[in-house]
Structure 1
Amino acid sequence: MPALTALPYESRMAIAAPNEAATTGEVLVALAAILCTAFVCGRIAVRLRQPAVMGEIVGGVALGPSLLGLLPGHLTTALFPPEVQPYLQLLSQLGLVFFMFTVGYRFDLGHLRGAGRRVTAVSLSSVALPFALGLGLALLLYPRFGTARLATDSRLGPALFLGVAMSITAFPVLARIIAERRMHHDPLGSLSLACAALQDFLAWCALAVVVAVVQARSPWSIGLLALHSALVLLVLAGVVRPGLGWLLAPERGRPLDGPWIHAALVIGALLTAWVTDRIGLDTIFGAFMFGAAVPRDRIDAVAPEVPDRIEQTGLLLLPAFFTVTGLAVDLTGLGSRGLVIVAAVLVTACAGKFVGAALAARLTGSTRREATVLGILLNARGLTELVILNVGHRLGVIDTRMFSAMVVMALVTTLMTGPLLERANVTLTEAPPALPATSAASGTASRTPV
């Protein structure tokens, strides 16, 4: 049979067309299954008084080898064959880019204004203690890692990454929980949001350092990456933000309207994500930085619906991200040693966050109940943890077993927040009409991504 490249163009297209059509059909079926699962699981989660996105995450894990793969007929492989998975990976990355743009756009440094001694103490303590415990746990468990699958021979990268992953608090999901419980006007709710905002800022900075250390081949390459990152920040702060502000200025004769703004923000997020990927950071950093650089007051004054549309696009694609994550999680392969790792990860994560936050709160004047509630709230990880874990998995600093254990930790620490708040006498109230369940796949919308 002659080589395909030696055939005429028309013949090559005739041979390739059936395979391409088959792949397109398989991708469409896979997406339909993903969105259907996300919708059903999201509605179940809402009925159970959990954020809809937690149901979607559980649904994504269930579509992988941990549940669907256990059924007869190799259903996971049949539904998500190898040739389909790269397309799902691409869609999941697009969803992450739009999600991280929205997180950056919604990130409000006003939460930190006038925060004072208590916020600083609680934030630093509830980051430092989990980081230290995660660092120690990684060094302790490193001999159990599948080191043949890691991209580095050093223990430093896995240890630093696990420390950062333990330190994160999901600011978006925390904001959602506080809004649903009508705590956003309560001093304790404002305090927890301020602490989570500062922690998120510190955690993203630390993750960028870890990525630089893992990706770098020499001290010179670390310095070069730091220089490139500083240049990106300078361009965003010194050129992009003032430029967008000028284009949106009301005193201009012809300020940009909605369609132009929509195109500018989407293109800007994609290009900045591409730039940070090329310099050695992950795409999520570029999308987040561009979102934070956008002049929110000008956008909200001219076209407030545009960021909501971008957010909904991200929320629609995020179930693909959950499924890609679920395909990499294999709870059946944990074994007895894996269960020990899961238990160690859960205890370390919960103890580090709760003790770090509650102890610092008590030392700075909070009552015992306030310190307890603060420790419970700051222990929520949510989707932000999954984003960070996927970065580490792609970098090759954690193996599949540790990745699976950390995903279980992210789910458990978030799902337990509501019941623990009930035990702490924080009454759950029905969400107001303006704050429906956060999920595009569940047929609802919100200005707070989870």
Structure 2
Amino acid sequence: MSHALALTAPAPMPLAHTLVALALILAVARVCGRIARRLRQPTVVGEIVGGVLLGPSLLGLLPGHLDTLLLPAEIRPALHVLSQLGLVFFMFGVGYHLDAAHLRSGRAKRQVAAVSLSSVALPFALGAGLAVLLHPWTDRKALAADGPLGPALFLGTAMAITAFPVLARILAERGLQRDPLGAISLACAAVQDLLAWCVLAAVVVVVQADGPWPVVRMLLQSALLFGCLIFLVRPALAWMLAPDRRWAGAGAAPVHTVIVVGVLLTAAGTEAVGLHAVFGAFAFGAIVPRDRIETVAPQVPQQMDQFSALLLPVFFTVTGMAVNIGGLGGEGLAVTAAVLAVACTGKFVGGFAAARLTGATSREAGVLGVLLNARGLTELVILNVGLSLGVIDPRLFTAMVVMAIVTTVMTGPLLTCLRRPGDDPAPPRAERPSAAAGRAEVPGP
């Protein structure tokens, strides 16, 4: 009996090493996050940079191969599982906090529609064209298919994204969440995220399927799953979470259990039909009846955000392990510059031109273009999906991660340059940034 137990018990050293690695990851994320805050950047930017520094881009350059010593191959599967778990709960928070009221903002309906479509269509077209030009440069062995269609569709989608949670956090820190431009930019980011996730789902179906029937089957299964969420799960949750239900007065624990179980099962469902788990988590967060949650157990979304914020540094580190800036070489740096130029041009020109055509001043249009250029964590989520599908190779993945960091870092300084000193209203003293302002992405004070 003891021999059998010894055979099935986990080896003590990998467990101890995993725990030490987690402690290191969280400590580095905390320090880098504090540095970012002092530089007037969102905490998540520092955490992303910390994850990159723990990979071959920095530790791998130091004597002794510290990246493989501190984060050896045998513990990386465990870190990957933890990172995906944090990602799933983060995407639930993105779906939950994506308020449809932003899509109906007053003066802006026509402007929101024009700016959103323009700042998605132009980056998508430029990104797809860039992918076709870069296809001969990519490592074909790392790609799942030989043709440029999958990489072109994916890179276009990745270029079109705007990081809604990071943008909301930037606006909250500057007291702009109730400013007309802030409201319009949030509405545009919400529309763009919805469009980008829908397009990404279609790209995943196209890339994963081997023929017309698998595509039809995945579409039917996905439609059935999302239809069940909308027409069965949402009404059931609304009934279960009604304030007059006996168990609804039992505190947050039952509600928390229902939400966690729902997120995990929905994420598993989309993973099973061929989509990534993040789609299920996002969809479940979007269909949860927020009014019932806020009435019965308003602390549950905060707890979910805190849990995802605790695990997201692991996701950043796993991402950083696939980023090797030093291995780009001269051609890689040129490609990175091209990626950055295309990303900024597509977003800024698309947003600026549409805003000007719908009546915005030059400065207002510039502010919108700058705000919509922030990619942040949402970009990393999409890039990891693309890397796992084999539609981008590690070098292009590295270039895109650098672009995501740079476009997010440059948002704050450019916003300061474009707005006059008296333009930024002071944030209300009694009001803390809401969960919709990126609590899931920016933990800590």
Q: 1:88 aligns with which of 79, 100, 105?
A: 79
Q: Does 1:355 align with 2:349?
A: yes
- What are the residue-to-residue correspondences of 1:66-77 with 2, within 5 Å? 66-77=57-68
- What are the residue-to-residue correspondences of 1:333-352 with 2, within 5 Å? 333-352=327-346
Describe the SS at the equivalent of 1:73: coil
Residue 49 of structure 1 is matched in structure 2 by 40
Describe the SS at the equivalent of 2:315: helix
Structure 1 consecutive aligned stretches of length 4 or more whose deviation exceeds 4 Å: 426-433, 436-443
Q: After the TM superposition, which of the residue ranges 268-277 and 183-192 deviates more from structure 2?
A: 183-192
Residue 6 of structure 1 is matched in structure 2 by none
Q: 2:432 aligns with which of 431, 434, 442?
A: 434
* 1:434, distance to aligned residue in structure 2 (A): 1.5
Q: Distance in 2 between matches of 1:141 and 1:441?
A: 32
Q: After the TM superposition, which of the residue ranges 403-412 and 188-197 deviates more from structure 2?
A: 188-197
* 1:14, distance to aligned residue in structure 2 (A): 3.5
Closer, same or farther: CA 158–181 of 1 in aligned 2, 3 Å: same
Q: For residue 374 of structure 1, what is the amino acid of its counterpart?
A: L
- What are the residue-to-residue correspondences of 1:260-409 with 2, within 5 Å? 260-409=254-403
Q: 1:58 aligns with which of 21, 41, 49?
A: 49
Q: For residue 18 of structure 2, what is the amino acid of its counterpart?
A: V
Q: Distance in 2 between matches of 1:440 and 1:187?
A: 24
* 1:396, distance to aligned residue in structure 2 (A): 0.4
Per-residue Cα deviation, 1:227-249 (whole angstroms, up to 9, x for no partner):
11111111111111101111111
- Superposition RMSD on alpha carbons, in Å? 1.8
Residue 19 of structure 2 is matched in structure 1 by 28
Q: Does 1:99 align with 2:93?
A: no
* 1:77, distance to aligned residue in structure 2 (A): 0.3
Q: Distance in 2 between matches of 1:311 and 1:182?
A: 22
Q: 2:184 aligns with which of 191, 194, 197?
A: 191
Q: Does 1:200 align with 2:193?
A: yes
Per-residue Cα deviation, 1:69-115 (whole angstroms, up to 9, x for no partner):
11111110001111100000000000001000111111111111254
Q: Distance in 2 between matches of 1:83 and 1:36?
A: 21
Q: Distance in 2 between matches of 1:297 and 1:16?
A: 47
* 1:425, distance to aligned residue in structure 2 (A): 2.2
Q: Does 1:444 align with 2:441?
A: no
Q: Distance in 2 between matches of 1:67 and 1:444?
A: 25
* 1:312, distance to aligned residue in structure 2 (A): 0.5
Q: After the TM superposition, which of the residue ranges 344-353 and 102-111 deviates more from structure 2?
A: 102-111
Q: Distance in 1 between matches of 2:212 and 2:249?
A: 45
Q: For residue 73 of structure 1, what is the amino acid of its counterpart?
A: G
Closer, same or farther: CA 28–439 of 1 in aligned 2, 3 Å: farther
* 1:220, distance to aligned residue in structure 2 (A): 1.2
Task: Please say if residues 39 and 441 of structure 1, whose CA atoms lie closer than 8 Å, have aligned partners that are also in contact.
Answer: no
* 1:250, distance to aligned residue in structure 2 (A): 2.3
Q: 2:70 aligns with which of 69, 79, 94?
A: 79
Q: For residue 113 of structure 1, what is the amino acid of its counterpart?
A: R
- What are the residue-to-residue correspondences of 1:187-266 with 2, within 5 Å? 187-255=180-248, 257=250, 258-266=252-260
Q: Distance in 2 between matches of 1:311 and 1:239?
A: 25
Q: Distance in 2 between matches of 1:438 and 1:120?
A: 23
Task: Please say if residues 331 and 404 of structure 1, whose CA atoms lie closer than 8 Å, have aligned partners that are also in contact.
Answer: yes
Q: Distance in 1 between matches of 2:46 and 2:16?
A: 27
* 1:10, distance to aligned residue in structure 2 (A): 3.5
Q: Distance in 1 between matches of 2:309 and 2:179?
A: 29
Closer, same or farther: CA 254–324 of 1 in aligned 2, 3 Å: closer
Q: After the TM superposition, which of the residue ranges 146-155 and 133-142 deviates more from structure 2?
A: 146-155
Describe the SS at the equivalent of 2:74: coil
* 1:252, distance to aligned residue in structure 2 (A): 3.5
Identity %: 61
Residue 127 of structure 1 is matched in structure 2 by 120
Per-residue Cα deviation, 1:175-222 (whole angstroms, up to 9, x for no partner):
111111111221111111111110010000000000000001111111
Task: Please say if residues 316 and 441 of structure 1, whose CA atoms lie closer than 8 Å, have aligned partners that are also in contact.
Answer: no
Q: Distance in 1 between matches of 2:320 and 2:360?
A: 40
Describe the SS at the equivalent of 1:83: helix
Q: Distance in 2 between matches of 1:110 and 1:441?
A: 21
Residue 3 of structure 2 is matched in structure 1 by 11
Residue 421 of structure 1 is matched in structure 2 by 415
Task: Please say if residues 248 and 302 of structure 1, whose CA atoms lie closer than 8 Å, have aligned partners that are also in contact.
Answer: yes
Q: Distance in 1 between matches of 2:7 and 2:84?
A: 30
Per-residue Cα deviation, 1:111-138 (whole angstroms, up to 9, x for no partner):
1125421111100000000000000000
Per-residue Cα deviation, 1:245-290 (whole angstroms, up to 9, x for no partner):
1111123444364111000000100010000000000000000001
Q: Distance in 1 between matches of 2:441 and 2:247?
A: 37
Q: Distance in 2 between matches of 1:16 and 1:242?
A: 44
TM-score, normalised by the number of residues in structure 1: 0.93
Closer, same or farther: CA 253–39 of 1 in aligned 2, 3 Å: closer
Residue 168 of structure 1 is matched in structure 2 by 161
Describe the SS at the equivalent of 2:216: helix
Q: Number of matched residues?
A: 436
Residue 143 of structure 1 is matched in structure 2 by 136
Q: For residue 212 of structure 1, what is the amino acid of its counterpart?
A: V
Closer, same or farther: CA 426–21 of 1 in aligned 2, 3 Å: farther
Closer, same or farther: CA 207–441 of 1 in aligned 2, 3 Å: closer
Gaps of 5+ in 2: none
Task: Please say if residues 380 and 413 of structure 1, whose CA atoms lie closer than 8 Å, have aligned partners that are also in contact.
Answer: yes
Per-residue Cα deviation, 1:397-434 (whole angstroms, up to 9, x for no partner):
00000000000000000000001011112556776561
Describe the SS at the equivalent of 1:84: helix
